Structure 1
């Protein structure tokens, strides 16, 4: 990826225990892969396990939206790219795009909103200056990227027939 591209931070392979009764990766393991990619992203911005202990702060997931686009199967190599969509002193919004590494297709996406928490107070708090500076550096590149079509999507608007509005 170029300097102005999404961050390619995580690779994995579909494990046998991730396969469900339909013969493809179970939905729970998509979330696992996205969560593991998020951990690598957090380390990249200065919020890895050691920094969280030192800072007495951490990130909590407060909202997420997954799109499942193509199935992946046993042994498939996966890569996850992270694109920062925005942030402020207390929040981070980003999308992770899971691709089949050799075939290149998008398997799934997950858009996240995370809050920074003071772990002593268990309340939302401003992120450390160095984390905001790293996020700004990434945002300077990612602001030039096209917004992914999956970003900001909602489920079933208008409601499906037979459901309540």
Structure 2
């Protein structure tokens, strides 16, 4: 990430590693990375109009249906984390986002989280289209973020490559 990316990808969420987040290996436990990413997804919802007032008024929300996390560098007690989010793609009912976490005074890459999200009517528990204004804002963000290089972790899958 370059310093110029902050204009295109502002920090959506900040958190500081708490003592009870540290595991027996002496670094932040993997579950808390996901917690920080989840709070960032909530912040994105607020930005695009899927906030608490929207959920209350419409009975609609979002569900994560697929998630992939990469851990790039250890994060320790008391370190601040900053998360930026890019909209990779969006359609009528689905949203593909990519969170990038940076940590410490050196702003080192700490982790990434790629999500596939569905817009859901909570009364029927079925997918439903995003409202037009939300979809337009997500499309605007997608277009803005498409100017950045695709993250190398995006679209990856887990495998043990076969030895030749």
**Scaled by the length of structure 1, what TM-score is found?**
0.92
The range that moved more, 49-58 or 3-12, is: 3-12
1:56-75 residue CA offsets vs partner (Å, 9 max, x unmatched): 11000000100001100000
In the aligned structure 2, how far is the partner of 1:118 from the partner of 1:7? Answer: 29
RMSD value, Cα: 1.8
1:59-104 residue CA offsets vs partner (Å, 9 max, x unmatched): 0000010000110000001100001100001000010001015211
**Counterpart check, 1:42 vs 2:45:** yes
How far is the alpha carbon of 1:3 from its aligned partner?
A: 7.3
| Runs ≥4 residues deviating over 3 A | 1-4, 157-160
Identify which of 60, 83, 86 aligns with 2:86: 83
Whether the aligned pair in 2 keeps the contact of 1:13 and 1:77 (CA below 8 Å) is yes
**Scaled by the length of structure 2, what TM-score is found?**
0.92
2:18 matched residue in structure 1: 15
Gaps of 5+ in 1: 161-165
Cα distance change of structure 1 residues 88 and 15 upon mapping to structure 2, 3 Å threshold? same
Cα distance change of structure 1 residues 127 and 14 upon mapping to structure 2, 3 Å threshold? same
1:135-157 residue CA offsets vs partner (Å, 9 max, x unmatched): 11211211111110000001015
Cα distance change of structure 1 residues 137 and 101 upon mapping to structure 2, 3 Å threshold? farther
In the aligned structure 1, how far is the partner of 2:64 from the partner of 2:99? Answer: 14
> Per the alignment, in what secondary structure is the counterpart of residue 45 of structure 2?
helix
Q: Number of aligned pairs?
A: 161
1:124 matched residue in structure 2: 127
Whether the aligned pair in 2 keeps the contact of 1:4 and 1:142 (CA below 8 Å) is no
> Per the alignment, in what secondary structure is the counterpart of residue 154 of structure 1?
coil
In the aligned structure 2, how far is the partner of 1:29 from the partner of 1:145? Answer: 27
**Counterpart check, 1:68 vs 2:100:** no
Cα distance change of structure 1 residues 34 and 140 upon mapping to structure 2, 3 Å threshold? same
